[in-house]
Amino acid sequence: MEIAKRTENGSGQCVHLCRPPPAPDLPMQHRGADSGSAVFWRPWIDDGGEKEQEAPHNAVEAVPLKQGRSLMDWIRLTKSGKDLTGLKGRLIEVTEEELKKHNKKDDCWICIRGFVYNVSPYMEYHPGGEDELMRAAGSDGTDLFDQVHRWVNYESMLKECLVGRMAMKPALPKDYHEEKKVLNGMLPQSQVTDTLAKEGPSSPSYDWFQTDSLVTIVIYTKQKDINLDSVIVDHRDDSFRAETVIKDYSYLVHVALSHEIQEDFSGLFYRKCQLVSKEDVTHDTKLFCLMLPPSTHLEVPVGQHVYLRLPITGTEIVKPYTPVCDSLFSEFKEPVLPNNIYIYFLIKIYPAGFFTPELDQLQIGDYVSVSNPEGNFIISQLQELEDLFLLAAGTGFTPMVKVLNYALTNIPSLRKVKLMFFNKTEDDIIWRSQLEKLAFKDKRFEVEFVLSAPTSEWSGKQGYISPALLSEFLKRRSDTSKVLICLCGPTPFTEQGMKMLHDLNFSKDEIHSFTA
């Protein structure tokens, strides 16, 4: 069974299949990444010296770890055969009363989705610090975990710390409402009523019809501005999955030919993508091209990121990356096949890192797991924009690629786009020739390169981000002109930049940071 055709018709998205599904179970998930300030789980986002890549918007800066407490050290400890649970290999059923007793740093149990882990051995290895773990000590930490890092494969990371199952039903997420269960997803169109529509977010409905050769599933979103990047479709074997993203909610159709599928919405959905090319861009940065499975539709929205997942020494490790276009000009490199089956990533390889060397060692034809998109960039921020300023350092340039292309192509009111690109040396500048050609071709675009360690031959700007550089660079057309400033780079760069922008009297609504 393969996807044969995909069309847009009014407010509905049609996906044509070859055999009819039964009535599906269709849950809804709230996608708001910034639903609270609590942070519980902090994975290794910067492995080794890997500090330039932008991270999820709701993550926090890692706490410095002691010598010998890296991710690799933790994996070695879990493989050593040492008893990390204190139970000598036994799995037990844990009552709520028993869980509450283990609430100290040297005796800390935490429940995540019904499974209890002894995290005391992990305390010194946790990049977010001991205090974050202690917030959930002796209790159910599912909500805290989901608020920031539901994408982390904790089952793999903590499998040697598993104490057992809870004897009680685990706490449901705080935004779950049993009395409104009928709203949690899409309903067959005949069951959608005016009453339901008044009780909560307008819930999409679906219908399907059959011919001799095809089954068509139609999702009615009731949204005027639905786009192809709002719908993600995956078909694997005898399973069909379609996720529709509307504002802060995801609505899911997930069916099999013979039975309904129950899916845990606690984590991100991944599909395996094949590496089809790998090209040098700078001396340490490469352009990776991954091909989606034949029966998958996935278009990552502008300003959003995905997670790449690889098994490394027996543990699944994930890192966030922002997809880019294959180039700033389509005429520079003609794609062999339509672009919507490919995802491109500009990734800096850190020789002493943990994740990127493994990624670099993949051969053409190997597979990488890619998640659904996440992010809080709202594309409507670009509408009616007059001036767009982009501040990027190193691989913090990656979110700017699609923002830049979208703005120049789709915003008629746009007067000027200016990029200030910070790097160490000339050799570190990603896509320098393309940026210079774009500036020559489109007079609305300007680029300035700033180097912190230039050679004596460099005649451009030097130094680091500073109020003097920004005040000269950020010239708005008038006091009333609509502007947006996007910035991304290592955490110190972004933190300093945010403070400088506020000191220059730019408002919160005029600034968007892709930041850890």
Structure confidence at residue 334 as a pLDDT band (50, 70, 90): very low
DSSP state letters, 249-298: EEEEEEEESSSB----TTS--EEEEEEEEEEESSSSEEEEEEEPPTTEE-
Convert the pLDDT of each residue in 457-497 to its tens digit: 999 999 999 999 999 999 888 888 899 999 999 999 999 99
DSSP 40-90: ------S-TT--SS---TT--PPPPPPTT-SHHHHHHHHHTT--SSSSTT-
**Each residue's pLDDT tens digit, 7-39:** 333 333 333 333 334 333 344 555 544 333 333
- Could you please state the CATH topology (level 3) that the domain comprising 270-374 is classified under: Elongation Factor Tu (Ef-tu); domain 3 (2.40.30)
CATH topology of domain 71-166: Flavocytochrome B2; Chain A, domain 1 (3.10.120)
Q: Which pTM was predicted?
A: 0.65
493: left (phi over 0), alpha (psi -120 to 50) or beta: alpha
* The pLDDT of residue 1: 28
Topology of domain 379-513, CATH = Rossmann fold (3.40.50)
The β-bridge partners of 271 are 370
Assign 189 a pLDDT band (cuts: 50, 70, 90). very low
Contacts of 78 (CB under 8 A, 6+ apart): 84, 159, 160, 315
Residue 70, pLDDT above cutoff 90: no
pLDDT tens digits, 141-173? 888 877 766 666 777 788 889 988 887 554 445
* pLDDT value of position 151: 61
Report the pLDDT value the prediction gives residue 56, as an integer from 0 to 100. 53
Has residue 196 got a pLDDT over 50? no
Nearest to 329 by CA among 449, 445, 230: 445
Query: Cα separation of 30 and 176, whole Å?
Result: 9
Cross-strand pairs, 219: 13, 206
- CA distances to 327, 348, 468 from 430, in Å: 11, 10, 24
DSSP string, 318-349: EEEE--B-S-S-GGGS--SS-GGGEEEEEEE-
Nearest alpha carbon to residue 122 among 70, 45, 80, 166 = 70
Q: Give the C-alpha separation, 135 to 41, whole Å.
A: 10
Amino acid at 106: D
Domain boundaries, the chain: 71-166, 205-256, 270-374, 379-513
Mean pLDDT is lowest, of 51-55, 382-386, 427-431, for 51-55
